Each structure stands twice: as C-alpha cells, then as structure tokens.
Amino acid sequence: MALAWIVGLAAAISPASSQGLEPGLASGALPEDRAPLPPDLRQPKTRWVAVRWAELPGFEADALHEAWNAWLKSCERPGPVFAALCSEVRRLSLGDSPAQRAWMMTRLQPYRVESHAGENEGLLTAYYEPQLEASRLPDASFTVPLYQPPLSQAPRKPWYTRQQIDTLPEVRAQLAGREIAYLANPVDALVLQIQGSGRLRISQPDGSIRSVRLAYAGSNEQPYKSVGRWLLDQGALRDASWPSIKNWVAQNPTRVNDMLWSNPRTVFFREETLTEQDMVWGPRGAQGVPLTPGRSIAVDPASIPFGTPVWLASSGPTAALRKLVLAQDTGSAITGAVRADYFAGWGADAQELAGRMKQTVRLWALWPK
C-alpha cells in the first residue's frame, strides 16, 4: 500500500466515518493476511516468531487511538528502527482506530516473543506512581528521609546496605545534607523505592505546600530482594500482595525493620518540578519519555528494545488485558524473555491494581516490515 494512501487515510477518516477502509475493517473483522511470513528474529534473550495478525487476541477490538499518545511519546526519542515511521505515526494521531489498525497491518509485522527454549508465556506484574504526603524538614511525624545519591559512592560500585544506612552513624553522616524530604512511614518509603518514582505533596518550612515528582537517580547497587518473598519464607503470609503485606505490618510493628532490611537495596532520587502538564503523564521511563497509564510497560531490553510497540494479552484474577502497549521502561526485577511490568498510573485504583497484579502474559513485538 502506498505511503500517500496511508497519509490520506489519517487525514480523511474521522471517528464517525470509515470511508476508504479495506472491506471488513469498519465492522472489526481483519482483512486477508496471506503474505509469506518472514524468518524468525533473534534478540539476546528471545526468539521472535513471525505470525499472522489474526493470532493477536483482541487486535480487531482495541481502542488503538488510546495507545497513540504513548506512541507519540516514544517518537520524541525513537530508536533507529522506528524513527523512520514517526512522521506517519504523528499523522495517524488524527485518525481513528480503524485507520490506525489498517496502517499497522501495512507497515508492521507481528512476532510472537518466546524464550530460546520456545516458552511463550511469562509473568505480568504492574507498577504505579505513589502519591504521598511529605515534609521538607523532619518533625515528630515525618522521620523517614528520602535521599539524593551520596557523593561518596563510586559509580556502579556497591554502597552500604539498607540496614547499614539506617543504623550506622558514619553512613548517615555521609548522607547528611542529601535529604530531599521526609515521609511518615518507612513502608511508604520502601514502596516509593520499589516503584522508582512518586509524587509528593511537601510541607515547606513556611507552611506552604509544594507538589513535586521524585524520579529515580540511582541506587546503592545492592541486589534487590523481595520483602514479599521474605514474608512467605518466614511463614508469615500465604499471599504476598501489597494489601496483605500492609496488613502484616500493622499487626507486627516490632518486626517491620526485619522485613525492610531483608531487602538490602535502596533507591536514591532527584526532585523534579511537577507542572499541570506533567501531572497528566507518568514519570520518565528508561526510554527517556513520560509513561502513559495503561499503555506503557517495562520490559527486559535484552528481550524487547525500548520504543517497540507490543501486543499484550493476559487474563487472570486481577485483570483481562488485550491491548497495544509501548515498551518504554525497565526495572531491576524485570528480567527474562516474556516479562512485562504494566504501568497502571497513579491514585488509589492504580495502587490497588499494582498491588495485586501477578498473572501470566503473552507478548507480540510489532516490528517494521
């Protein structure tokens, strides 16, 4: 299909019109897809197997225009593979889902993501951006500091553990003056560090309130250990969801430090201004672009390169998802061939979803033809 036709499609088709679409697209059915399939592709941790569009569950029904904002964000910092498509992606932002679907089928090839051993199911979790109350200075209620990176840490070298940071005076002395703000609850600080960023409403010394975003700025380069796994191994819980963990914390206040110190990893932050425009987007992911709730995922970049559009299908007790997402972030716990962390957004609903999401997932990378 000629590029001129694709560009015209974006400009001419409105949500109320389906003129010019291939037969069947307006009603949700997919057109014929009979072209010879290309050979498999290999990534460092995965094998990509070329498939027909009909293999993607729910592809004919997704509201693709909702994902287009995430794709436009990826086009702010595209990799070399997708940069050539970004002018078309921008023009298609004027189209509706049928127009976008027709363009995708013309310009992209879906590949089923598998391990090198042929496994095509993996784990889906979710993360969110916490919203917390904080104080610029410590007081009787706000006692848990959040730090900028220490000046004494050598690049990429392990620094002190979480327990050492909390208990050794000489370590706290090295962090003196690096405090950004203080929280009231050490578990909230742990959640903020695990999520990697968050929004704070900080009480200033003059009594005013300032809304800021804390963004990931580094870590102590210690290994990440799941506190949920520690609680399961202790026999303290049967369900390691965050609601269950918080219930355990409320019932076992004298053991909270033991739980926290089971994870030696600590994350450091930088403070960013949070404007009204910034508030409609999530934090910047590893690709360097703001995340879009419900349309951005974190991946292992050795499995799926940043900026890749991905078809995600997952059904489980928490959610049923069949949708277009963009690989825009990663994390220390996001490793493996078929692995994704779904950005849920912010607020109570996002926190609830992220706290419970743990179910199987299948992924298809959508790669330029």
Residue 16 has pLDDT above 80, yes or no: no
74-121 pLDDT, tens digit per residue, is: 999 999 999 999 999 999 999 999 999 999 999 999 999 999 999 999
Average pLDDT, the chain: 90
* pLDDT score recorded for residue 239: 87
Element of type H or E holding 89 = helix 86-92
Q: Are 124 and 103 a contacting pair, CB within 8 Å?
A: no
Domain ranges of the chain: 3-41+52-108, 122-126+282-368, 130-273
With 0-12 / 13-18 / 19 or more C-beta atoms within 10 angstroms meaning exposed / middle / buried, residue 192 is buried
φ/ψ of 57, rounded to 5, equals: -65, 125
Q: Give the CATH H-level superfamily of domain 130-273.
A: Barwin-like endoglucanases (2.40.240.50)
CATH of span 122-126+282-368 = 2.40.40.10
CA–CA gap between residue 81 and residue 136 (Å, rounded): 44
Q: DSSP string of 267-288?
A: EEEEEEE--TTGGGS--B-TTS
138-186 pLDDT, tens digit per residue, is: 999 999 999 999 999 999 999 999 999 999 999 999 999 999 999 999 9
Domains 122-126+282-368 and 130-273 share a fold: no
- Looking at residue 274, its amino acid is L
CA–CA gap between residue 39 and residue 24 (Å, rounded): 28
Residue 297 neighbours by CB distance under 10 Å: 29
Span 310-324, mean pLDDT? 96
Q: DSSP string of 144-200?
A: EEEEPPPTTPPTT-----HHHHHH-HHHHHHHTT-EEEEES-HHHHHHHHHHSEEEE
* pLDDT score recorded for residue 29: 56
3-state secondary structure of 47: strand
Q: Are 361 and 298 a contacting pair, CB within 8 Å?
A: no
Q: Are 201 and 135 a contacting pair, CB within 8 Å?
A: no
Element of type H or E holding 67 = helix 64-74
With CA atoms as reference, report the closest residue to 41 among 108, 130, 91: 108
34-69 pLDDT, tens digit per residue, is: 788 999 999 999 999 999 999 999 999 999 999 999
User: pTM to 2 decimals?
Assistant: 0.81
Q: Are 315 and 336 a contacting pair, CB within 8 Å?
A: no
235-264 pLDDT, tens digit per residue, is: 999 988 888 898 999 999 999 999 999 999
CA–CA gap between residue 257 and residue 300 (Å, rounded): 31
CA distances from 83 to 71, 95, 327 (A): 11, 20, 15
